[in-house]
Amino acid sequence: MVSMDKEKRQQKLLSLIRAKPVSTQGELAAHLERAGFAATQSSISRDLEELGVVKRRGRYSVPRATGGAARGLVSLDVAGDALVVARCEPGLASAVAVEIDGAAIKEIVGTIAGEDTIFVAVGERKAQRAVIKKIWELFG
């Protein structure tokens, strides 16, 4: 499971790259520090790799998403005894939840969507992994 600090840092990293031309990890580190995020060059390097950021024409670029990410779904994690937490692109959680609800996955009791997070209620703990698999297949 990704820590909240790492997740927030990675979201800020993506927003920085989308907002302005950035050429070096040093520039990214400086921008992150001004935004209140401490990050080493090695953590920035790992973040860029995990996020699929590429360098084009000497500047960092976020490639267009494919698969689930293109439709808003970013990650799925088990939480507690009967909950799956779905992380989505900002503003897309409701659309993703509607698609999940529409799939009528029998193990899912219901969903609650916020701005970028969905709580997926699952009937039984042992069904959580199956639900995650089915949601990924839906957004494949």
Mean pLDDT within 76-85:
92
- Which pLDDT score, from 0 to 100, does residue 140 have? 72
| 111 Cβ contact list (under 8 Å, min separation 6) | 97, 100, 101, 118, 119, 120, 121
In this model, does residue 67 exceed pLDDT 70?
no
Which has more pLDDT, 94 or 127?
Answer: 127
Q: What share of the chain is helix, strand, coil (3-state, %, to 5)?
A: 45, 20, 30
Q: Which residue type, as a one-letter code, is found at position 67? A: G
List the domain boundaries for the chain.
4-61, 67-139
User: What is the chain's mean pLDDT, rounded?
Assistant: 86
Its CATH architecture, for the domain 4-61, is Orthogonal Bundle (1.10)
Q: Which of the 8 DSSP states describes residue 92?
A: -
Mean pLDDT within 79-105:
89
Mean pLDDT within 100-104:
90
In this model, does residue 90 exceed pLDDT 60?
yes
- Which pLDDT score, from 0 to 100, does residue 122 have? 97
- Which pLDDT score, from 0 to 100, does residue 54 have? 78
Q: What is the CATH number of domain 67-139?
A: 3.30.1360.40
pTM for the whole thing? 0.54
